[in-house]
Structure 1
Amino acid sequence: MTAVTDRYGSDVLSSDWRAPKRGRSQEVAAEPDTVVEEVDTGFVGAVVRVEKVGGMHVVHLEDRRGKVRAFPLGPGFLIDGRPVILTPPRPADAAALAAARATTTRTASGSVAVADQRAKVALGSRIFVEGRHDAELVEKVWGHDLRVEGVVVEMLDGVDDLSAVIRDFAPGPGRRMGILVDHLVRGTKEQRIVDAARALPQSRDHVLILGHPYVDVWQSVRPQKLGWTKWPVIPRGTSWKHGILAELGWPHASQADVARGWKRILGTVDNYADLQPELLGRVEELIDFVTAPV
């Protein structure tokens, strides 16, 4: 009697038939010098440290050019093309990370400080931010990096005329624009403005527009720096900045009060660890974009 070949095997459920093509994620300790790829951004770097900030673990990766970026620890990483879930390092590894950190001088952004190097002549490329407070925060945390790279930060005074700004700048090879937009949330006025700007022919290869979800760049400072667990919600009809200062119990009647209040908030920021990851990642992407080789 001729045997009948079972084309489908004896049990189609006996193997992990739902497994993704790359396999299921495996937990891997974020040990020093482990090279990983962050899936959403494609950033590839070696683990330089892991720390707990604002109740969450953050892993810092350094790429081959010395750029350091912070990402939430957990899923969303690849090692040799296979998905992994990064976990806090074991105690011995944590000690090694601390020792490595102690022997390395880093800037406020977390990148390796470049000693005895003059700032480069300004590149044709630029990073644009919405206003003075955005520019001051970027300068405080990333100022060293930007001077080393020769990147100038300019203010937009709002994004209502963003398309016109792009046309006037005339981006092209060696003349890129990186633009940071406040409150870039689906369905908002800002999102419609950005969509129109991204559709310009000039934006196709030489413009990168990114945003953070916060009403104002003030919110990118971790609320714990101000004694809060989260930023308060300000009622509609109330000036957001004035409302925040009122919640803090600080003077808020005039624009001079607002300016002084921001200086106090900015004064709580020592380095990148005092900022929300949503802003950190976006600024790092913009710096990478405008400094990438032509």
Structure 2
Amino acid sequence: MSGRDIYGGDIYSGHSRTRKREIPRVVAERDLVAEDAATGFCGAVVGFDRSYDGEFVKLEDGKGRVRLFAMREAAFLIDGHPVTLVRPTATAPKQPTRSASGSTRVAGLRARVAQASRIWVEGVHDAALVERVWGHDLRVEGVVVEHLEGLDNLAQRLTEFGPGPGQRVGVLVDHLVTGSKETGLTTGLGPHVLVTGHPYIDVWEAVRPAAVGIREWPKVPRGEDWKTGICDRLGWGTPQDGWRRVYNSVSSFRDLESPLIGAVERLIDFVTEPQ
């Protein structure tokens, strides 16, 4: 009898049930139909996005609803089988001729030295969406966008800044409607300050519902935190989770409501107008 130990080792080694299953990597070509394994949402690939927390793919279902999903390992199903979607690698991509705002894109842009004039917005979400859509235009013009951390700070900031000829301030305000608190805080500020705004409670609501994959923005009763109420009613988790959905759903001015587009365009014209 040989010295070989027929009982040694792992008797299950190599068995099909113990082998680690290889998850295929599939290139997410446009119009490829895939299903999000977590939610069951099924749609065709229509685009991609990238943010600070990773890569995302846009899927559009048969009803025209577009949703954004993180491109994680084994996060999707094709014909019922788990796959990992990866972005296509484009060779010599064609450079877009239009910016996200619809303006003519300046090739080889180097940002101008910042002008003295400024655009102020109420919060970081407002600033992020303005940069998302008008960032190219602002760099061409050398305009800096700053957030006020609340409209209540406007009077003090204007006193410190000292608007004047060649040093204008454009202010973008949420919920700028007749009789609102916001209207009272933004009147009589002088010829070198222009205030524009939109009628929505929060800048989230200035994103078209279809862009974030919903039919309409829910109504949140007065006195309830608006962002928390929106996320609760849509099942979006925390306001931080909701903001990621909103931000990643915007790729151009077409994803925004016209009141916000017009308000920002007027501010850019005002602070860049030759004086």
Instruction: Classify the TM-score, shorter chain.
Output: 0.5 to 0.7
* Pick aligned residue for 1:191 from 175, 183, 189: 183
SS state of the match for residue 161, structure 1?
A: helix
Distance 1:193 1:290 in 2: 20
Deviations 1:203-235 (A, max 9, x none): 2x2110111101000001001122333211012
Alignment of 1:127-138 (within 5 A): 127-138=119-130
SS state of the match for residue 171, structure 2?
A: strand
Residues 1:227 and 2:200 aligned together:
no
Distance 1:104 1:137 in 2: 20
Alignment of 1:6-25 (within 5 A): none
Residues 1:210 and 2:196 aligned together:
yes
Residues 1:237 and 2:220 aligned together:
no
* Pick aligned residue for 1:157 from 149, 162, 168: 149
Alignment of 1:1-294 (within 5 A): 105-195=97-187, 199-200=188-189, 203=190, 205-252=191-238, 258-294=239-275
Return 5+ residue gaps in structure 2 as ranges: 1-93
Distance 2:145 2:186 in 1: 19
RMSD: 1.6
The CA deviation at 1:161 is 2.9
Quote the residue 2:18 is aligned against.
none
Q: Which amino acid aligns with 1:208?
A: L
Q: TM-score, normalised by structure 2?
A: 0.64
SS state of the match for residue 153, structure 1?
A: strand
Q: Which amino acid aligns with 2:129?
A: L
Q: TM-score, normalised by structure 1?
A: 0.60
* 8 Å Cα contact 2:116-2:167 kept in structure 1: yes
SS state of the match for residue 165, structure 1?
A: helix
The CA deviation at 1:194 is 1.1
Distance 2:213 2:241 in 1: 18
SS state of the match for residue 115, structure 1?
A: coil
Quote the residue 1:8 is aligned against.
none
The runs of at least 4 consecutive aligned structure 1 residues that moved more than 3 Å come to none
Distance 2:241 2:96 in 1: 35
Number of aligned positions between the proteins: 182
Alpha carbons of structure 1 residues 132 and 103: separation in structure 2 relative to 1, 3 Å: closer
Q: Which amino acid aligns with 2:148?
A: L
Distance 1:242 1:104 in 2: 37
Distance 1:123 1:192 in 2: 29
Distance 1:210 1:115 in 2: 30
Distance 1:235 1:123 in 2: 42
Deviations 1:89-112 (A, max 9, x none): xxxxxxxxxxxxx99710000000
Larger radius of gyration: 2
Structure with a larger share of its residues in helix = 1
Distance 2:132 2:162 in 1: 28
The CA deviation at 1:270 is 1.0
Distance 1:178 1:114 in 2: 24
* 8 Å Cα contact 1:127-1:151 kept in structure 2: yes
